[in-house]
Structure 1
Amino acid sequence: MKRKNIIPYRIKQARISRGYSMGELADLLGITRSSISQYELGTIKPSDFIIGQLSSILKYRVSFFYKPLPENTSANSAVYFRSQRSTTKKAKNAAREKLSIFREINNYLLQYVDFPKANLPVFEGYNINRELSLEDIENIAMQVREFWQLGIGPIDNLTAILQKNGIMISVMDLNNKKIDAFSVWYDSIPYIYISTDKYSNARLRFDLAHELGHLILHNNVFNNEDLENKIIFKRIEQEADWFAAAFLLPEISFEKDIYSTSINHFIQLKKKWKASIGSMIYRCEDLNLLSPNQIKYLKDQMTYNRYWKKEPLDEQIPLERPFLHKQAFNLILDNHLTTPEEVLDSIGCDAEEIEEYSFLEPGTLQPSIPENVIRLKVTSTQNIINFSKF
């Protein structure tokens, strides 16, 4: 049987996704940086021993390094990071490679199932030279609600709404607390990635709505180089924040709930709208629903009670969970279309990592332990009563 060839880029992809430089990986392998470079360029072929070491250190299965690349390896849009400006290029590159791997998991499942098609409204007339006003974004957010027939009240489960309309969502460990979330269009499929550091459902929902804003407002407008511009970056982040607030808290209905400046009143509103107290205060400020003094009072209360980092109800309101991949994996495994081992070998990741990417129950892809088929032998001596014990 002809042996498969190593795919050089897979070595680079595995290294970058784990956040290693060439020099760092070379030190772990006990070889030179030049050797790593040549492996990744394909000018020399790593030995079976080195491949085994790469698999062990980078935590990818050996099959990963032989897996052909997808036909299209570049995104159709810029990657929009909800992150601090200080986030390093290294961290963003690692996140991009994780994005690519989740996309390959998605493509693997598409061999067996059909996911909902992307169903996002398209808004014409926006370009890189035109800034959107708060009023523009208020109108767009309401049109999105109308397009999806959501009404004007609180959205019960935003994750379910987004997935129903063809947006693929993954929750992953980005190993960087400065990156909250990011989004991208790939092969006409919109993706949103949320960090596992999200500990609050309200903040999770705001991040999802923020990324939805990027997918709708900024698709085919900016490239990755544009986003390196501080002015453009600040502008589109503001627009996505405005969209998230307008989408989650429509002015026409939210303003009717603002009749008290008690912090306890806003805690009760959090139960209804499933939005953070902080985001509701800023929403009141943007819409001029409260006076500057009232806004200052509420912000002071947030500071005094140390609510900016952890609010009341954060631990009581359960996190929304992505479910599309979980349903797909359960469907193909329950119908014996494949086995957990075949899944792991085809995708090339360990079980725990795929379970995290796709929000599966821990152990879903772990090999099952067969029931005990061993029995004790029954001998005649087992039936003899030893009277010396009496």
Structure 2
Amino acid sequence: MVLNRNFNGMRLKEGRIYRGFTITELAEYLNVSKQMVSKYENSHAEPSFETVHKIANYLDFPFHYFYEEPVNVTLGNTYFRSLLSTGKKEREMQLDRIKYITILRKMLEEYIDFPELDLLVGFDYQDDIEEFTQQLRTYWGLGDKPIKDIVFLLEERGFIISSLYLDNKSIDAFGAICSIREKEYYSIVLSSDKQSFYRRQFDVAHELGHALLHEPTIIFNDLDKEEQKQIEKEANDFAAAFLLPKESFLRDITMHPSDLDYYKMLKKKWGVSISAMLMRAYKLGAINDGTYQYMQRMISKKGWRKKEPYDDIKEVSEPIANRQAIELLIENDYFTGPELIKILSKEYGLTIHPSEIESLLGLEKGYLLSKEEPVTNNIVQLKTIRNMESC
């Protein structure tokens, strides 16, 4: 029972940071000193039963959450799409979201066959990102054709992709490698509150660039601002080269390289924003500096900085693998929503509200408390053998 366990001060700190609260804010709510909250978090003092209930209410975590010893998760570098404009507090808030998503994936793998993480290994790009992206396209069998849906592509290659409402204008996407029980995962979290399909394509490709170019060779905390700018540039160059392969994109763009209406047509073909294509055309030498600057001014004049043509027409691609896994299990009566929550708590030391799980896995609100129609065309499949009685 919970009362036979010790209060976990690290869990208090984890939950507080997860919700974005400072020690001062929590202390004021509890009507205690900042020093006392610090003692709680460092296990130098234990809050009363009543105080824990107040903490649970304020941070919106179940009471049990603060008495658990969670499964160990090793988190590598976390790369943010807008690294230099994302503050330390905002970055810290998101770290445990990646951990929790990865724990959920680990639990689901006990019942579901997911694609294994499939990365290009053994190739040293030696600063030649063009060659590296071509090697990756060949390895994944993509040829030189447009990538219609990079979210689906990476899920098929074993990446964990989630789309969350982050309520933070400075964060578009972030990703990190995690290790649980000697197995490695790469998770990418996308902001769901301000995306177009085309922007999301580039964001995901950018995070893929970090995964392949910089992990695990970069010690992120040792980088200064100039070095951070450099790895962001490399990730952007990777995204552009991967989404817009040099030879085939040049064949298209050289027909009308300075015609913005032509870029509108190419946007539908390549699934990439006009701004990204224009930058790529400039870097490949399809347009000179003067033409590039003129076209940039025209983009501003047309109001395309905030919204380009077709941005509000094409539906944003959402991750589906984790959602499909949950739906397969529940619709096939492997377990109910409440039973899933109990397994997560008992086997992985993570007791969170159903609504939190729904958010992390992209489920419809209330799904874990209800019964929905089964889905078809799944990326993932149920494992063929599983002794459910042990659960």
TM bin (shorter chain)? 0.7 to 0.9
Q: Which digits, 9 at most, give the CA deviation of each residue in 1:6-36, with x for residues without a partner?
A: 3221111100011111111111122221221
TM-score, normalised on structure 2? 0.87
For the Cα contact (< 8 Å) 2:118–2:158, is it kept in 1? Answer: yes
Q: Which residue of 1 is the match for residue 54 of structure 2?
A: 53
* Residue 183 (str. 1) matches residue 175 (str. 2): yes
Shift of 1:368: 6.8
Q: Which digits, 9 at most, give the CA deviation of each residue in 1:138-162, with x for residues without a partner?
A: 0001111111101111111111110
Instruction: Say which is worse superposed, 243-252 or 290-299, in terms of deviation.
Output: 290-299
Instruction: Say which is worse superposed, 235-244 or 290-299, in terms of deviation.
Output: 290-299
Paired with 2:37 and 2:113, the residues of 1 have a C-alpha distance of 39
Asked which structure has the greater CA Rg, the reply is 1
Provide structure 2 residue ranges, at least 5 long, that are not aligned to the other structure. 373-391
Structure 1 residues 186 and 25, CA, compared in 2 at 3 Å: closer, same or farther? same
Paired with 2:330 and 2:49, the residues of 1 have a C-alpha distance of 32
* Residue 151 (str. 1) matches residue 143 (str. 2): yes
For the Cα contact (< 8 Å) 1:198–1:204, is it kept in 2? Answer: no
Q: CA RMSD in A?
A: 1.9
For the Cα contact (< 8 Å) 1:137–1:246, is it kept in 2? Answer: yes
Paired with 1:172 and 1:216, the residues of 2 have a C-alpha distance of 23
**Matched AA of 1:327:** Q
Paired with 1:58 and 1:110, the residues of 2 have a C-alpha distance of 29
SS in 2 for 1:289: coil
Aligned partner (choices 164, 170, 190) of residue 172 of structure 1: 164
Q: Which residue of 2 is the match for residue 37 of structure 1?
A: 38
For the Cα contact (< 8 Å) 2:80–2:86, is it kept in 1? Answer: no
Paired with 1:202 and 1:238, the residues of 2 have a C-alpha distance of 19
Q: Which residue of 1 is the match for residue 212 of structure 2?
A: 216
Q: Which residue of 2 is the match for residue 200 of structure 1?
A: 196
Paired with 1:24 and 1:354, the residues of 2 have a C-alpha distance of 26
Structure 1 residues 137 and 90, CA, compared in 2 at 3 Å: closer, same or farther? same
Paired with 1:337 and 1:4, the residues of 2 have a C-alpha distance of 30
Percent identity over the alignment? 35
Shift of 1:104: 2.0
Paired with 1:177 and 1:244, the residues of 2 have a C-alpha distance of 21
Q: Which residue of 2 is the match for residue 365 of structure 1?
A: 368
TM-score, normalised on structure 1? 0.87
Q: Which residue of 2 is the match for residue 137 of structure 1?
A: 129
**Matched AA of 2:290:** N
**Matched AA of 1:244:** A
Q: Which digits, 9 at most, give the CA deviation of each residue in 1:93-125, with x for residues without a partner?
A: 111122222222222222322321110002454
Shift of 1:348: 2.5
Paired with 1:236 and 1:13, the residues of 2 have a C-alpha distance of 28
For the Cα contact (< 8 Å) 1:333–1:340, is it kept in 2? Answer: yes
Q: Which digits, 9 at most, give the CA deviation of each residue in 1:19-65, with x for residues without a partner?
A: 11111111112222122112212222222222221221111122322
Aligned partner (choices 265, 269, 281) of residue 266 of structure 2: 269
Instruction: Map 1:1-390; keep pairs closer than 5 Å.
Output: 3-71=4-72, 73-75=73-75, 77-125=76-124, 132=127, 136-187=128-179, 188-227=184-223, 229-258=224-253, 259-260=255-256, 261-345=258-342, 346=345, 347-366=350-369
